[in-house]
Structure 1
Amino acid sequence: MAEGQETELKLAASPAMLAQLREHPLLAGKDTALTLVTRYFDTPDAILHRHGATLRLRDDGTKSEQTFKSTAGSDSSLRRGEWNAPATGEAPDPQTLPAAARKLLEPLLVDARLRPLATTRIERITRRLKFGTSTIEAAFDSGTVEAGRRSEPVCELELELVDGEAADLFALARQLPLGPELAWSTESKGERGHALALKLPFTAARAGEVALTPAMTVAEGFQVIAWNCLAQFLGNYREVLASGDPDAVHQSRVAIRRLRAAFSLFGDHVTDERSAAFRAEWKAAGDALSPARDIHVLVERIESAAQDAKDDTLDLLKHLRAQRKKATREAQTALSDPALQQLLIGFAEWLEHDLPSASEPLSEFAARTLARRRRKLVKQPALDKLSDETLHELRIQGKKLRYAAEFFDALYPDKKSAKERRAFAKALGKLQDCLGSVHDIAVAHDQREHLFAGKEPIAAAGLSAQLAELLDKHGPGRKRLIKSASKALDRVAEAPAWWKFPIIEQ
């Protein structure tokens, strides 16, 4: 592998699964057993954690080494910067790390004192494998991560690329027994240690900056965008499984929507014999999350409305919360299916190895796409004349244009267009929010019969009527939302075509 870079696929496993994997023929090889004691360090204000970096000391019984790891690479969730140096004492000494590491680390540690935060104690068995054209190191890890009196178990399989192609990591993983007991995880041991030490609650992963450059081709641009969307999903879906956290559900769904929008925006440029299946499977994954997200939004709206309601809403809220719990369990069941892991791993392999080659300059494609999508969006009759279904279709168009503007924003770093880009994004966001609220109201009304199915008819009718009244009286109504959406659409139509500004080469 390139110096200063780690390429690794981590699979969280149950203890029984890890034992089973040690007998798997594809993972067979000579065992090397190690006991690893690793201490993770950070500043009192956790600046390394906030920048997605880790600094550690590791002792394997024969040597002690310090390691600095930076954030994952912009083109995938596999790659991180990694630099090592011999340990010189009981704390890391950044001055002994390679120059590339010091350049990243020193600005973070100006006048800052390092302190130990967490420790991992791992029993590791490693094996060197040949798979495809690559050499891969498989590490079977079991142990604990500890911070003070708190501790959590660690049980995982790490597949690290020694040399060769990253796609071989996924090709190997696809042939393992993927499922709820063996699932892709992007949370490092260091991140787990920080979360434990700092008592950090779960924070949903939101869309990160898409690191495009003007020198990229269309294929390269799609690859970076798709990895960005995939990273957002990977940062949330395991929390959906663990707790059903509403924000994790929402951001998992947003990640899928962004990815599906990318497929739509790039069209035939990324079409091959596998892409149609991927698009269908990602749609199914998003659809599995939709009922949970819809009921989360509805319950929040009704809880807020109930505070001002004169009538007793306890029975209605009790029923809706039960429906929320049911929908969340169904989403968890869908995401725990082995088919999702096959989709994740297979899609990543396709991105790394089989993505169709599209050599058109990305900057030309971006300008053409943004112009065409805006023309299509703004050619609409008066919004108050449109049905809820048509408004929903318009919302999807606006969302795709908004995602396109966010995806391609990094191609236009010049200050001249910055104000126009922000105004354009704000108008599209307002349009999406208003039409989204119209859609939420419509969905809530349309699904009232489904929400109360199974209840005694008279009780169901009463709760359904109460729900309709609360929806109609609380928050902005349909007429007001559409008026605001129309103004936002006008601002989109009138916005300068900032994508025509010269692109500055970086």
Structure 2
Amino acid sequence: MITPTPTSAEIELKLLLPGADARQIGTQLATIPGLAELVPTEQRLRNIYYDTPDQQLRRAKAALRLRSLRQGGGRTRWIQTLKTAGAAAGGLSQRGEWESTVRSGRLDPVLLQGTPWPTLDADGQLFAQLAPCFETDALRTLRLYTADDGSRIEVVLDIGQVRAGEARSELCELELELLKGRPDALFELAEHIGTHLALLPAPLSKAEQGWRLVDGTTHAPRRARKLDLEADTPVLQAAQTVLGEMLGQFVENLGRILESDGSELVHQARVGWRRWRSALWLAKPLLANHPVPDISALRPLLNALGAMRDLDVAALESLPQWADAYIAGNPERAVQWQAMEAAVTAERSLRRAALLSTLQAPATGRTLLQLERWLQALPQGAWTPELAEQTIEHWAVARTKRLHSRLAGEVKEMEEADLQSAEGIEHQHKVRLLAKRTRYVLEALRTVLPRERTRRWQEQATELQTSIGAARDLMLLATLLEPLGVTPEILGFLRGVAAGRTADA
């Protein structure tokens, strides 16, 4: 019997290659200093992933695959691999992995002994139900890189497809897998590569990509996920978890924007970023000895996301509800409205192109990698003993009380201001942003906060955000449309509606 070989600390960093030409990217990679002198090895890989009809392995966060591997003109080898869920922090994924060579292209239950499989399938019933669910087919080019400190990294370029039935998804990604040494060496190498090629962190494994094909959710937005923090979780660990979930939402949606023009992807990317910034405020007192990297290189991306979202709100939410009221059966007005819609559509295409350009800028990916590197190192910072031993519960209660008090004060000032003045309008916007921050922080920490008070504060923050947001969107609408050459009659109509809504707010 062949004994399975465990690799219980598989640590890797996955990267997208935005804007890359699959036919040229291998040549480009080969010119990068530090990689250019390495001899590449090419392999043809086909991975078949198995599960039960009710996806028991997926629900257990495990994956079982059968791989065919052919190198050069050699014979095809078959490898059976079991992977189990592990930790993920700061863009790095760590999973348990057990590999065995099999004699043919069939799963072998004997080779699963000595792995965690018996805990998943104690009576053997699960194995009997296994069937292929999806597969990947790729040309793999790999290089073995040795850092100055001796850390060894496998640099893997995969070009191919993920397939589930008739569904297809293109595969063009880079994986850096740590064979020996420091996990931080992965980030060092990625940042070096990112000075020559555009990269983006890629949180999804190939198995997750396959399941999204099966589900038909390849282009679905990544929304906020609930966090089940425990009251006794160390505050630094909790901060890393909260920040990681929020940065993950931002980064995952950026990757999907590359492939799809869905307006909700843009919206959820911006939500992820605002949640991340809210969590940074929450954790600010913790970070004196661990300052956040400079994010100024992300400003073009954030501006492009905002510009895209403004137009999406106008085209999909604000304008449709007022079309009938403006046209009112008048053919001339109908023509004006159609011309305005055509102008918005054309402008949206231009803003989409500008957004993609920022995602393909090397500075964007390098900055995101620096954020993930910073996040991965957060718990290892130079902390005082008191802070290192502190739990999240006391911290969360104190910080949310302070945030709610600040919001209440700003609301009181807003109610006393002239909301028609520029100063009043700006104060309204400030309150809206603070309400969002309050809601995001309360949602993230809900499991360690007083339940009834948290629910009440969340409802108040949501109501503020919604009511101010609707009025503000209308106020900005005419300003947004004016540079597009929209007729003065429509602009005047929209300004009148906005004034009426603001007075009622």
1:78 partner amino acid:
L
The answer to whether residue 464 in structure 2 is matched with residue 464 in structure 1 is: no
The answer to whether residue 354 in structure 2 is matched with residue 327 in structure 1 is: no
2:80 partner amino acid:
E
> Given the superposition, is the C-alpha separation of residues 461 and 257 from structure 1 closer, same or farther in structure 2, using an over 3 Å criterion?
same
1:121 partner amino acid:
D
1:481-500 matches, within 5 Å, as 482=505
1:245 partner amino acid:
G
Among 4, 10, 13, the alignment partner of 2:8 is 4
Among 248, 251, 268, the alignment partner of 2:265 is 248
Among 446, 454, 467, the alignment partner of 1:421 is 454
Q: Which residue of 2 aligns with 1:229?
A: 246
Q: Is this contact kept in 1: 2:32–2:196, CA < 8 A?
A: no
Q: Which residue of 2 aligns with 1:40?
A: 49
Q: Deviations over 1:198-253 (max 9, x none)?
A: 54451100122346444554443332222212211121102223333211111111
- Identify unmatched segments of 5+ residues in structure 1: 483-506
1:18 partner amino acid:
G
Q: Matched residues in 2 for 1:53 and 1:322: separation?
A: 46
- Structure 2 counterpart SS, 1:187: coil
> Given the superposition, is the C-alpha separation of residues 388 and 119 from structure 1 closer, same or farther in structure 2, using an over 3 Å criterion?
same
Among 128, 140, 157, the alignment partner of 2:174 is 157
1:478 partner amino acid:
T
Q: Deviation above 6 Å: which 4+ runs of structure 1?
A: 104-107, 109-112
Q: Deviations over 1:7-51 (max 9, x none)?
A: 211223433122332343423545554332210123445565577
Q: Which residue of 2 aligns with 1:444?
A: 477
Q: Which residue of 2 aligns with 1:369?
A: 399
C-alpha displacement of 1:396? 1.9
Q: Which residue of 2 aligns with 1:86?
A: 100
> Given the superposition, is the C-alpha separation of residues 29 and 441 from structure 1 closer, same or farther in structure 2, using an over 3 Å criterion?
same
Q: Which residue of 1 aligns with 2:82?
A: 67
Q: Which residue of 1 aligns with 2:307?
A: 291
C-alpha displacement of 1:265? 2.4
Q: Is this contact kept in 1: 2:13–2:177, CA < 8 A?
A: yes
Q: Which residue of 2 aligns with 1:432?
A: 465
Q: Is this contact kept in 1: 2:6–2:96, CA < 8 A?
A: no
Q: Which residue of 2 aligns with 1:269?
A: 286
> Given the superposition, is the C-alpha separation of residues 122 and 92 from structure 1 closer, same or farther in structure 2, using an over 3 Å criterion?
farther
Q: Is this contact kept in 2: 1:8–1:161, CA < 8 A?
A: yes
1:208-219 matches, within 5 Å, as 208-210=225-227, 212-219=229-236
The answer to whether residue 406 in structure 2 is matched with residue 390 in structure 1 is: no
The normalised TM-score by structure 2 is: 0.80
Percent of aligned pairs with the same residue?
24
Q: Which residue of 2 aligns with 1:488?
A: none
Q: Matched residues in 2 for 1:94 and 1:74: separation?
A: 30
> Given the superposition, is the C-alpha separation of residues 362 and 273 from structure 1 closer, same or farther in structure 2, using an over 3 Å criterion?
closer
Among 337, 341, 361, the alignment partner of 2:361 is 337
Q: Matched residues in 2 for 1:421 and 1:87: separation?
A: 54
Q: Matched residues in 1 for 2:121 and 2:491: separation?
A: 58
Q: Which residue of 2 aligns with 1:146?
A: 163
- Identify unmatched segments of 5+ residues in structure 2: 70-75, 418-423
1:7 partner amino acid:
I
> Given the superposition, is the C-alpha separation of residues 314 and 31 from structure 1 closer, same or farther in structure 2, using an over 3 Å criterion?
closer
> Given the superposition, is the C-alpha separation of residues 369 and 196 from structure 1 closer, same or farther in structure 2, using an over 3 Å criterion?
closer
Number of corresponding residues: 465
Q: Which residue of 2 aligns with 1:22?
A: 30
- Structure 2 counterpart SS, 1:203: coil
- Structure 1 counterpart SS, 2:177: strand
2:448 partner amino acid:
L
Q: Which residue of 1 aligns with 2:131?
A: 115
> Given the superposition, is the C-alpha separation of residues 123 and 291 from structure 1 closer, same or farther in structure 2, using an over 3 Å criterion?
closer
1:37 partner amino acid:
R
1:385 partner amino acid:
E
Q: Which residue of 2 aligns with 1:183?
A: 200
C-alpha displacement of 1:6? 3.0
Q: Which residue of 1 aligns with 2:255?
A: 238
1:88-107 matches, within 5 Å, as 90-91=106-107, 93=109, 96=112, 100=116, 103=119
Q: Matched residues in 2 for 1:433 and 1:110: separation?
A: 48
RMSD, matched Cα: 3.5
> Given the superposition, is the C-alpha separation of residues 270 and 124 from structure 1 closer, same or farther in structure 2, using an over 3 Å criterion?
same
Q: Matched residues in 2 for 1:347 and 1:186: separation?
A: 14
Q: Which residue of 2 aligns with 1:403?
A: 440
The normalised TM-score by structure 1 is: 0.79
Q: Matched residues in 2 for 1:319 and 1:92: separation?
A: 61
1:286 partner amino acid:
L
